[in-house]
Chains A and B, each alone.
Chain A
Amino acid sequence: MLISRRNFLKSTATLLPAFASLPMVFRRAVASSMLESSSYSSPYQNRTLIIIQMAGGNDGLNTVIPYTDSKYYDHRSYLAVSDEDVLDLNGELGLHPVLGKMKLLWDQGLLAVVQGVGYENQSYSHFESMHIWQTADNKGKLEEGWLGRYFESLKGMEDNIFQGLAVGKLMPYECSNLNAPIPVVSSIDKYRLEGSTQQRSEALLKLYSSSPLGAPYGVLLDNTIEAVYKSSEALQTADKNYQSDIQYPETSLSKSLKVLAEAIIGDLGVRVGHVKIGGFDTHSDQIVEQPDLLQEMSEAIYAFYEDLKAAGRDQDVLIMTWSEFGRRVKSNGSGGTDHGAAAPMFLIGSPVVGGIYGENPNLRNLDKDNLRFTTDFRSVYSTVLEEWLGAAPEAILGGQRFEHIPFLAKV
């Protein structure tokens, strides 16, 4: 058995009271073990939440387009999408023409659009705003990712290394958690240790657990090596057993979502999957760049959905998209848009009640050239945490209560 600090923290946690005087990590471990969690009982245990991060700040106004509003055309000059080209949703809003596959999902009632999502005192810095979305806190008080806190709130965390699975090169900040680093994989094919022998692994694991707890990054390294050993073999097995007739497009996002599909269909117990698509920071040439990215996203999501459906798992998977901000209402002089504020979020999948939620952005009542937010992003998080994952949202969202949005079908 691997000796991990995570196990240690977990088991001591239940025994150590007076946690006010403990170091923070211990204290959190205490807190999480005391959280009454029902998430390991049905119906939540087979459910997965897929996060798609659209990094760079996606232009929401050219994604879900208010094509009946003349103001849109006034502001956007040649970046505007013609009302003849949009894919109409409800006679008022339409999807960008490259989102054909998303429109197919909409037609089946599988796409929910939450309008005007943002937060108070919008930050126009990519990294500050991402941090706010990732920690679920616009006051800079909460640390670690909101999903990292969710992982820590789960009982039996140490038994399942795949509580979360991120596809990409870096750990997504929203999943970050010192005590429970989820596996990160960029391609299953290359996710295997070369030259590994029994003797080598035994000695290596001893070395990692022997470094003093106070050694910089000792905990992180120790927990990560454990994740390496535990996850690489399981993913190889899932990959070997995975069979599918669905053709995914040859794009980066498709490949990433396919990894998640393999893990879900292979029953690895993934509660949260994370993928990222970057490049939405369209200060120039938006007319070329944004449609390519939106199309990549739309087609990848569709293939992923079809794959899960064919495997009979579509009922278990909810997809959520987010981006750190929308873009300036008025386009700039370089065929692009600068950093903005509120934007729509997508929720996709069989568990969804399709439709438009929240208040449409008002192009006649701007806040310094930007759209005012009408829905706090944590309302979406809170809905998903409680109604989809069966977690207690207040504990994860800093003690605050947020109004829920009825985009999920009642089971």
Chain B
Amino acid sequence: MLFNKDRRLFLQTAAKLGLSAGALIIFEQACSNMVPTEEAVSLMPTSQPKLTPTLVPAQVIDSTSQTPVPYPTAGPTPMVGPTSQPEMAYPVNTPAVNKKVIDDPRVRMGHLLRRAGFGASKEEIDKHLSMGEAETISYLLDYDKSDDSEVESRIESLNLDLSDKLADLQRMAMLRMIYTNRPLQEKMVLFWHGLLTSGWKKVGKGPYMLQQDELFRSHAFGNYDDLLKAVARDSAMLIWLDSRVNKKNKPNENFARELMELFSMGVGTFTEEDVKESSRAFTGWSLKKKVFHFQENQHDFGVKTFLGNIGNYDGDDVVDIIMEQPVTSRFISRKLFEFFAYDNPEEEVIARLAKTFNDSGYSITALLKDILTSEEFYTQQAYRSKIKSPAELIAGTIRALGIESTVTYQVRKYMGPMGQELFNPFDVSGWPENEEWINSSTLLNRLNFVNAVAEGNRRHFDYDLVNMIDLKTVNETKDVIDYFVDILLDGEISEEEKGIYIAYLDGLLKGEDLQTGLTKDRLASLVYLVMSSPDYQLA
């Protein structure tokens, strides 16, 4: 996305400069007291050595001057936006710091289990640390070796109506994310639900959305051509993108277009003629008695010209031709890498993944394995580089704190306002990502959700906050902070942040000692603060 490039350029540049907010404030105050001349600039605080060399202006322009017109009044190179800058002042992909590989096994494990699943409790992290990273990756990939009957019985015990109640479907999906022993499989189900999406508001009641969910679960790791062919026959998809009414002589283009644009090749890689021709290949792919039905008399058996090929194609042929396009392997490699690791991956990463994908006969498992064992996945560039989706935030919080929950309305009610009503995305493009998850309304609801968790109403979030921490192990405030920051933030916070937490808890304790002063309310307030923090919003 274009917006990402802009933001990344800015953030990476800022990171390279090593700017902290503290430094910025000092700098701001200094500047506001100064006349902006060369001499004044040379007086800027020397305690920020990294700032000065880069920000010292080569030439000072009076800020009241009208001369430096910020935007050209005409001409082909407007100034707004990096793509219009032929020569970047700063390279986009550099800061060596970002390429740094994370060393700490505990941080690596926290990152792995968060990205390739929905996070983990302290006990789970410990368990996987003793298993080792390689074993853990195998555990995640060979998911069918793990018994998942416990989550099935949790779901069964609630007598959910998974055909006709959207809320029950959402409840089922959340329960799986929280309590599954196959976290990567559930993560892939969420991924496919976002990519090959359909939505309740058009598909409606019936077994459709549940069947699609099951399709994604059974095909979570399979070959991509098989998945696309199955999705083209999936009842919910047949309704969502109108294939069921795609008729000979007057085809409906909806599915064919999105198959290429959103599911496999990407915008701008095919022509309007390709849309029209491939929609003919899917004519007659209809729905009868709620399941896929090939309606022969509505299928166009004529010759089609599609992506430079000519033949009497049907829908499966169209998928096969799509899979042969070099853009397809790059498209799906990028989608998966960005979902698991970081945005805007380097060209060599995409090329490598695309090769892995093609060499393996379009295997999603092969792609996942490549990504999760790659060095890039464990770099600082990947670490906390994504915004948690609401599903990740909710499932991850409940998992991390070991909370018992049946995902009642009091839990689910935050999902919609956070922007992710499962099984009911905004439109055909599936779920938002990263910065799109954050605005004043969604952030406020994230904070309200973690407040509900911290308060810990037993009926909705059953856990024992007070006895979670063993008071015998804490000697000073810092130990309490460390305990919760370890569980919730991989123990990774800056000294400045740690200072804020310590001061906050000390303020609550009002001089009482830890053994008696750590009441439920105070602990709840601390946990609220950690989970409301900017770090916690990041995956």
Contacts and interface: CB of A to CB of B under 8 A. Distances in A.
Interface string A359-379: 000000000100000000000
B66 A8 contact: no
Residue of B85, B268, B534 with most partner-chain A CB within 10 A? B534
A269 to B, nearest CB: 16
B253 interface: yes
Interface in A181-198: 181, 183-186, 190-195, 197
A184 B24 contact: no
A212 B267 contact: no
Contacts of B96: none
Contacts of B250: 332-334
B28 A11 contact: yes
B252 A334 contact: yes
A78 interface: no
Interface stretch (B183-191, B364-372, B425-433): B425-433
B511 interface: no
A232 B452 CA distance: 19
Contacts of B429: 126-127
A56 B258 CA distance: 13
A411 interface: no
A7 B21 CA distance: 12
Contacts of B417: 169, 186, 190
Nearest to A207: B533
B31 A183 contact: no
A23 B444 contact: no
Nearest to B416: A169
Interface string A140-175: 111110000100000000000000001001110100
B441 interface: yes
Nearest to B381: A216
A243 interface: no
A225 B446 CA distance: 11
A216 B11 CA distance: 7
Given A125-B267, A333-B250, A16 B55 contact: yes
Interface in B35-66: 36, 55, 57-61, 63, 66
Interface in A28-60: 28, 30-36, 55-56
A395 to B, nearest CB: 4
A216 B28 contact: no
B108 to A, nearest CB: 18
B14 A214 contact: yes
A228 B25 CA distance: 22
Given A17-B61, A22-B89, A338-B253, A184 B440 contact: yes
B215 interface: no
B9 to A, nearest CB: 6
Interface stretch (A65-73, A301-309, A347-355, A396-404): A396-404
B251 interface: yes
Given A140-B83, A207-B500, A334-B246, A212 B15 contact: yes
A304 B356 CA distance: 56
B111 to A, nearest CB: 14
Given A184-B440, A284-B252, A213 B428 contact: no
A181 B253 contact: no
A15 B241 CA distance: 54
Interface stretch (B72-80, B145-153, B344-352, B458-466): B72-80
A216 B61 contact: no
Interface string B259-287: 00100000110001001000000000000
B40 to A, nearest CB: 9
A92 interface: no
A394 interface: yes
Nearest to A127: B429
B32 interface: yes
A200 interface: yes
Contacts of B497: 207, 210-211
A217 B438 contact: yes
B13 interface: yes
A286 to B, nearest CB: 11
B440 A221 contact: no
B537 interface: yes
Contacts of B162: none
A35 B436 CA distance: 29
A90 interface: no
Contacts of A232: 440, 444
Given A30-B70, A206-B500, A399-B72, A143 B57 contact: no
Given A18-B61, A143-B2, A191-B444, A23 B14 contact: yes
Contact of A203 (B59, B252, B500): B500
Contacts of A56: 427
The 3 closest A-B pairs by CB, nearest first: A214-B15, A333-B250, A31-B70
Given A192-B444, A194-B452, A232-B444, 11 more contacts: A34-B66, A144-B80, A169-B417, A190-B417, A194-B448, A195-B448, A203-B501, A281-B254, A338-B254, A394-B71, A395-B70
Interface of B: 2-3, 5-7, 9-22, 24-25, 27-28, 31-32, 34, 36, 55, 57-61, 63, 66, 68-75, 78-85, 89-90, 201, 241-242, 245-254, 257, 261, 267-268, 272, 275, 384-387, 416-417, 419, 426-429, 432, 434-436, 438-445, 447-448, 451-452, 454-455, 494, 496-497, 500-501, 503-504, 507-508, 525, 528-529, 532-535, 537-538
